[in-house]
Amino acid sequence: MIEKVIPLADLRYAARMPHIPAQLQAPTGMLADTLSRPLHDLRISVTDRCNFRCSYCMPSEVFNKDYAFLPQSSLLSFEEITRLTKIFVAHGVEKIRLTGGEPLLRKHLEVLIGMLARLTTPSGKPLDITLTTNASLLAKKAQALKDAGLQRVTVSLDGLDDAVFRRMNDVDFPVADVLKGIEVAHKVGLAPIKVNMVVKRGTNDAEILPMARHFRNSGVVLRFIEYMDVGATNGWRMDEVLPSAQLLERLQAGFPLEAIDANYTGETAERWRYRDGGGEIGVISSVTKAFCGDCNRARLSTEGKLFLCLFASQGHDLRALLRDGSYSDEQISAAVAHIWQGRSDRYSELRAALPPDASVPGSDGARRVEMSYIGG
């Protein structure tokens, strides 16, 4: 008997070879994990490269000219991404978020968006296709993205003060160009636009009120994100986290707010609106108020590894199944279902219940996946 040799994905992070159940069951669209959390969102990283070097994500001392990014041959092709997405949609996924790295660095991304836009849910609904970007290339590409079928964008912007912003992106990129990208995206209809601000105490927390003031009455939803302990390269420290409760106190002092209901189950941001009708903001308490209980997101790396948690250290190598050539969609679908049904990840909830210096139970000391590799 000749053994089948299946090439493993790049060993940047550990990956399991997915198990193919002997009994293949057709997807029902109602896949749930061990904690009864459904599979609803799929975040797809299309590149591990970025043209910014933000300290909380891709610090320049690590991601320098000598850093070995993944070769093009390692990346999933557009056809492979579309094939996997179709399988995930049959299991209940309705929302696709393209991310990176910086996804607009992936050549011809609008072609992929067009391919994904032709997919529908089992009930015939179009997919909700969104993209997260630093907006450095958004003004140039917004119209093509919209024409291809992209519906909305989320822009990462960590401050309005140009000196602060240039210091944070560490490549001397001007804030005016990001604001131009937001303006063009709005004009072509990539709306409602969300703007994400990662708040790092002592670095850009003085920008909270200026950001709120700028985006009030604009139709843009500004969201504040606690600085997270994702990966191992950003030198994360708890004393650099500004808790959302304190952030809200600062905002309330300048702009009275009231809480509003979530848009949907599993929404990461707590929603607030200005009492005077100036719009809404969101607060993502990724450190101080865990939201694992209704997390319905799967993450697909640019080289085809499926991660079940933003804080995972090990993925599942779907690319190996795709490129082996002998596995049918039905077999890959059964493997995806088996993986999700065994999911029990709740890193943030476990961390929140422990003292700051304690390790999370079940952690084996393996290096957690980096934000730049799996996307936010």
| 185-227 residue pLDDT tens | 999 999 999 999 999 998 999 999 999 999 999 999 999 999 8
Total residue length of the chain: 376
Lowest-confidence range among 46-55, 258-267, 271-280?
Answer: 258-267
Where on the phi/psi map is residue 188: left (φ > 0), alpha (ψ -120 to 50), or beta?
alpha
> What are the tokens at 238?
């708890």
Check whether 62 has a pLDDT greater than 50.
yes
Among 1.20.120.1200, 3.20.20.70, 3.40.50.10420, 3.50.50.60, name the CATH number for the domain at 14-374: 3.20.20.70
Percent of the chain with pLDDT over 70: 88
pLDDT tier, 374 (very low <50, low <70, confident <90, very high otherwise): confident
Q: What confidence score (pLDDT) does residue 120 get?
A: 97
Check whether 180 has a pLDDT greater than 50.
yes
CA dist., res. 340 & res. 332, Å (int): 12
Q: Which pLDDT tens digit goes with each residue over 120-137?
A: 999 999 999 999 999 999
> What are the tokens at 115?
């391919």
Check whether 5 has a pLDDT greater than 50.
no
- Select the more confidently predicted residue: 49 or 355: 49
- Select the more confidently predicted residue: 249 or 13: 249
Average pLDDT over residues 277-291: 87
Q: What confidence score (pLDDT) does residue 8 get?
A: 36
Q: What confidence score (pLDDT) does residue 1 get?
A: 36
Average pLDDT over residues 108-113: 98
CA dist., res. 312 & res. 13, Å (int): 10
Percent of the chain with pLDDT over 90: 72
Q: What confidence score (pLDDT) does residue 240 get?
A: 87
How far, CA to CA in Å, does 272 sit from each of 251, 252, 262, 269, 284?
11, 11, 9, 9, 11
Buried b / exposed e along 99-128 (16+ C-beta atoms within 10 A): bbbbbbbbeebbebbbbbbebeeeeeeebe
How does strand 314-317 pair with strand 305-307? antiparallel
- Select the more confidently predicted residue: 287 or 349: 287
∠ Cα 310 314 317 (to 5°): 105
- CB-count exposure of residue 287 (10 Å: 0-12, 13-18, 19+): buried
> Residue holding tokens 């690319």?
319
CA dist., res. 310 & res. 374, Å (int): 8
∠ Cα 15 20 21 (to 5°): 135
Q: Which pLDDT tens digit goes with each residue over 305-328?
A: 999 988 777 899 999 999 999 999
CA dist., res. 180 & res. 215, Å (int): 14
∠ Cα 259 264 270 (to 5°): 30
CA dist., res. 97 & res. 95, Å (int): 7
Q: What confidence score (pLDDT) does residue 6 get?
A: 35
Contact 100, 66 (CB under 8 A): no
> Residue holding tokens 């590149």?
47
Q: What confidence score (pLDDT) does residue 249 get?
A: 95
Check whether 82 has a pLDDT greater than 90.
yes
**Which amino acid is located at 155 in the chain?**
V
